[in-house]
């Protein structure tokens, strides 16, 4: 009878040990499943698919901080493109300036108002003058906020008889704002001013 009780006790211990092992393994499996599910979900959030020409192309999301220098330089480039790329057409001028002013604060609007008051845009139209901008370098300091930038480029003024090339150097600061269709990079140029704008070459046509 004692042996039978001993066998029952041993069997009970073995069953308890087996049960503990099963419970521990179940908890471990559940924990791993939750972790794996979280990783899959996070990976799925970093994937987007873009439909182009009937094909689904996979794209990956990235933290904005990884793209700040690229987006900041492109924002500055696009602002200068819209502000300085003009043709002798009032609608073209107004459309480009409007796009540029969405990317900057009142400092750009003030420069626009000064040029308009001095008859700059009227002279472009009456003189059949076109204007282009070419960016040479755009430096952005992201070590301190707001981000300081300096733009260096060439302003090409195409007149009926001559082509004038001017050096253009501007500076300003970039502040974060919400993204929109009019401001896809989510930056706003502040305290924008021209440091240099002088003739460097004149070519007869």
pLDDT tens profile 83-113: 999 999 999 999 999 999 999 999 999 999 9
| pLDDT of 153 strictly over 80 | yes
Task: Tell me the pLDDT of the chain averaged across its residues.
Answer: 86
Give pLDDT, residue 82. 96
Tokens standing for 7? 């066998």
Pure H helices in 102-203 = 106-117, 120-126
Question: What pLDDT shows up at residue 57?
Answer: 57
State the DSSP code for 52: E
In sequence order, which residues have a C-beta less than 8 Å from that of residue 161 and are 6 or more positions away?
A: 204, 205
pTM for the structure as a whole = 0.69
The answer to whether 197 and 180 are in contact (CB under 8 A) is: no
- pLDDT given for residue 21 in this prediction: 84
The yes-or-no verdict on residue 2 having pLDDT over 50 is no
Residues near 142 by beta carbon (within 8 Å), at least 6 away in sequence: 68, 69, 72
On the question of pLDDT at 63 being above 90, the answer is: no
Domain boundaries, the chain: 2-49, 64-204
Domain at 64-204, CATH from 3.30.70.870, 3.40.50.300, 3.40.50.620, 3.10.450.230: 3.10.450.230
Q: What is the pLDDT of residue 134?
A: 94
The yes-or-no verdict on residue 32 having pLDDT over 70 is yes
Number of other residues whose CB lies within 10 A of the CB of residue 140 = 21
């Amino acid at each position: 009878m004692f042996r039978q009780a001993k066998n029952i006790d041993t069997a009970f211990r073995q069953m308890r040990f087996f049960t503990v092992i099963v419970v521990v393994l179940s908890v471990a499996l559940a924990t791993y499943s939750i972790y794996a599910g979280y990783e899959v979900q996070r990976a799925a959030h970093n994937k987007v698919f873009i439909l182009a020409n009937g094909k689904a192309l996979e794209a990956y999301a990235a933290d904005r901080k990884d793209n700040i220098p690229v987006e900041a330089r492109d924002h500055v480039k696009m602002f200068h493109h819209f502000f300085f790329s003009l043709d002798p057409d009032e609608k073209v001028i107004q459309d480009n300036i409007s796009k540029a002013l969405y990317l900057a604060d009142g400092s750009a609007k003030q420069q626009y108002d000064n040029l308009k008051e001095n008859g700059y845009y009227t002279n472009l139209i009456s003189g059949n003058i076109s204007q282009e901008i070419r960016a040479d370098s755009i430096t952005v300091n992201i070590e301190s906020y707001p981000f300081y930038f300096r733009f260096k480029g060439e302003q090409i003024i195409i007149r009926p008889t001559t082509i004038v090339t001017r050096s253009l150097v501007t500076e300003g600061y970039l502040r974060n704002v919400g993204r929109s269709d009019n401001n896809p990079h989510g930056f706003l140029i502040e305290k924008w001013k021209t440091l240099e704008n002088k003739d460097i070459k004149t070519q007869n046509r």
